[in-house]
Amino acid sequence: MSAPLASPLAGVRIVEFEGIGPGPLAARMLADMGAEVTVIARPQQGAVAAQLGGSGDNPLRRGKTVVPLDLKQETARAEVMALIAQADGLIEGNRPGVMERLGLGPADCAQANPRIVYGRMTGWGQDGPLAQTAGHDLNYVALTGMLSLSAHRGERPIIPPTVVGDASGALGLAYGMVCAILEARHSGRGRVVDAAIVDIVAMLGSIAHWIHGNGQLGGDEPSPFHDSPFYDVFRCADGGCVTLGAIEPQFYALLLEKLGLADVDPRKQYDHRAWPALKERLSTLFASQPRAHWEALLEGTDACFAPVLSLQEAALHPHNRARGIYHRSEAGALHAAAAPDSSISSTSTHRGRP
């Protein structure tokens, strides 16, 4: 019997200066993969964290060791520097210049530990005209051009959940940290990872840039993603909603078959002139039955279908339960499991998360 696999980042030490949002999420991603994360927390909870997250369990601290310290005190800064001297990486999310004024900037930390990877999580980045200004997820996504692509023709762009900006930034920082730590182990030299949300969201928008460049998104021509009848959200008789994403011809043909639309020619899928009438027809059709009816008919087929679930419903969905995506804390709060799942070896059929 083979020995169990070690966590991918076992032995990696990270010092996190606790902020809100993307920085703590990036550190939790590393902790979920086995890194030893020590959080330097303010003695008192910040106003924004208290308002948004309350006083209960903080899921962004999962798997971390929390050390409350007042960094205005010299003894606290010395304690932090001792941790940094033994660490592989550091994560902070302050405005540019704040850590330098505390004597904990990249140059200061490199003197104590030349191989430290210094991760900087900001919205605008360490330089540029906006670097010193405040902002949040919605602002960063707006500046990249990505928010404009959410607008249906003539309508306002929708406000996305924080997963678009903050969580994308967290993912980019975690990726950058791991890459730099791998290189530092060979070279013995650390580096600064400037994880600006505007940079990362723009990079993750590369597929959208490609589609936009072909005139299929955000231009004057009708877009499959905004105007077509086969890529949209439809309301059902009971007020629930379902989604369709049948972009490929074979999936679109199956969708028409499942919906009993034998008079619609699947070969004319991209005939823009027919889109408005067919979308109206589909809207009427989906509104004629409750969501459960369409789930029974379409879910589990190649029609590219999924219901719009609440968070509570998502936790109970058979697919999500089979993959162990969600779990509840002892206090009953809903949490997502570590991802991606790296517990499966090439010789094992076991699926699951720790």
Instruction: Judge whether 166 counts as a catalytic residue.
Output: yes
Across the chain, where does the E strand assignment appear? 13-17, 36-41, 64-68, 89-92, 117-122, 192-196, 231-235, 241-245, 305-307, 326-328, 334-336
* Tokens 């993603």 belong to residue: 225
Catalytic residue of the set 32, 88, 137, 166:
166
Catalytic residue of the set 136, 212, 293, 317:
136
Domain formed by 231-307, architecture: 2-Layer Sandwich (3.30)
Q: What is the DSSP string of 295-319?
A: HHHHTTSTT-EEE---HHHHHH-HH
Residue 172 has what pLDDT? 97
Instruction: Judge whether 199 counts as a catalytic residue.
Output: no
Cα 337 to chain centroid, rounded: 13
Full-model pTM: 0.88
Choices 3.40.50.720, 3.40.50.10540, 3.40.1030.10, 3.90.380.10: CATH for 13-206: 3.40.50.10540
Residue 3 has what pLDDT? 58
Could you state, in order of their start, the residue ranges of all structural domains in the chain?
13-206, 231-307
Residue 344 has what pLDDT? 58
Residue 143 has what pLDDT? 94
Q: What is the pLDDT along the chain (354 residues), one digit of tens a residue?
A: 555 667 899 999 999 999 989 999 999 999 999 999 999 998 876 655 655 656 667 889 999 999 999 999 999 999 999 999 999 999 999 999 999 999 999 999 999 999 999 999 999 999 999 999 999 999 999 999 999 988 877 788 888 887 889 999 999 999 999 999 999 999 999 999 999 999 999 999 999 999 989 888 888 889 999 999 999 999 999 999 999 999 999 999 999 999 999 999 999 999 999 999 999 999 999 999 999 999 999 999 999 999 999 999 999 999 999 999 998 888 888 889 888 887 655 544 444 454
- DSSP annotation of 3: P
Token pair for residue 146? 């990505």
